[in-house]
Amino acid sequence: MGGRAVRVILHAGFHKTGTTTLQRALHHNRRALAAHLRLVPRDRMMPAGRSARAWSASRDPLDMALFHYELAEVMAGWDSTDPRPLVTSAEDLCGNMPGRHGVETYAAAAPLMAAIVETLAELHPKAQPEFFFSTRAPQAWLASVHAQHLRAMRMTLSAEDFAQKFRSAADLDAVVDEIARSVAPCPVHRAALEQSAARPLGPLAPLLDLLELPENLRATLEPQPPANTAPPPDCTAELLRLNRSNMDAEALAAAKRALLAGAG
């Protein structure tokens, strides 16, 4: 990328907006897409994602330095002679999901995206970064995040109390607007899950729109079912009850695993 202008499209969020479904669709169709794009799998971006999460919680300059380092580690391996657009999807690049480790909003996302632009410019000056974000209506997003926290941590807030506490985090379009200001003039795109989920290829479709892939290719791609969806309401209520119990951590984890296995 040092010798030619190549598009680099980063799908960097948000959590609980169909990102896992999109990532699985990219992976599942990777061979069909290979002639048209270079896919950097999410697991290659995980070290940078961990550093982004750490910085979103600590705001420690050392964590930001580590974020730059981990980005450089993966970006340095990008072939500067390959003209295909480069695509990656990793929602943790925006930092922690609100509600984790004291993080209440996506305020870290804009400076993290600016750091991506800076690091990419240092390593591949002619690369053309673009950002793509999946969004979701506030009420549905808050409910999905709450359900995720019930499964993954000892969340004891009710859905109503969680929505009240974190409602300022739920305006994802405002976060995208702030990111667009921080990375200007880099293009920043967005697509609402409510619209993309109804399309034949689901949340992957808006990303393919950006790539302007031919219709005959898109017709050969296989959609993936929605991934990492919320458990049914009775299961969610039981998860909350378990989290509020006096079980120790090991017993709680075992009870939750058994409950979720039965719900699946």
User: Quick check: 1 pLDDT over 70?
Assistant: no
pLDDT of residue 229: 86
User: Quick check: 208 pLDDT over 90?
Assistant: yes
Confidence of residue 230 (pLDDT cuts 50, 70, 90): confident
pLDDT of residue 3: 57
Helices within the chain (DSSP H only): 19-28, 30-33, 42-58, 61-75, 109-123, 138-152, 159-166, 172-183, 193-196, 204-211, 215-218, 233-243, 249-263
Confidence of residue 262 (pLDDT cuts 50, 70, 90): confident
Closest CA to 98 of 163, 10, 176, 188: 163
In a domain, 163, yes or no: no
Average pLDDT, the chain: 96
85-111: b or e for each residue (b if 16 or more CB lie within 10 Å)? bbbbbbbbbbbbbbbbeebebbbbbbb
In a domain, 20, yes or no: yes
CA atoms of 179 and 111, how far apart (whole Å) = 8
User: Quick check: 126 pLDDT over 90?
Assistant: yes
- Residue 117, number of CB atoms within 10 A of its CB: 18
Q: Could you give the 3-state DSSP secondary structure of residue 89? A: strand
Indicate the Cα dihedral angle 52, 56, 60, 61, nearest 10°: 50
pLDDT of residue 228: 85
CA atoms of 202 and 200, how far apart (whole Å) = 6
Confidence of residue 174 (pLDDT cuts 50, 70, 90): very high
Residues 134-147 pLDDT 10s? 999 999 999 999 99
Give the domain CATH number at 201.
3.40.50
- Residue 206, number of CB atoms within 10 A of its CB: 23
- The domain tally of the chain equals 1
pLDDT of residue 264: 64
Burial class (CB in 10 A: 0-12, 13-18, 19+), 230: middle
Closest CA to 45 of 92, 13, 6: 92
Domain span at residue 40 reads 7-139+170-227
Q: What's the DSSP call for residue 26?
A: H
Residues 21-56 pLDDT 10s? 999 999 999 999 999 999 999 999 999 999 999 999
User: Quick check: 2 pLDDT over 60?
Assistant: no
Quick one: average pLDDT of 240-264?
A: 94
pLDDT of residue 5: 86
In a domain, 147, yes or no: no
Residues 53-97 pLDDT 10s? 999 999 999 999 999 999 999 999 999 889 999 999 999 999 999
In a domain, 27, yes or no: yes
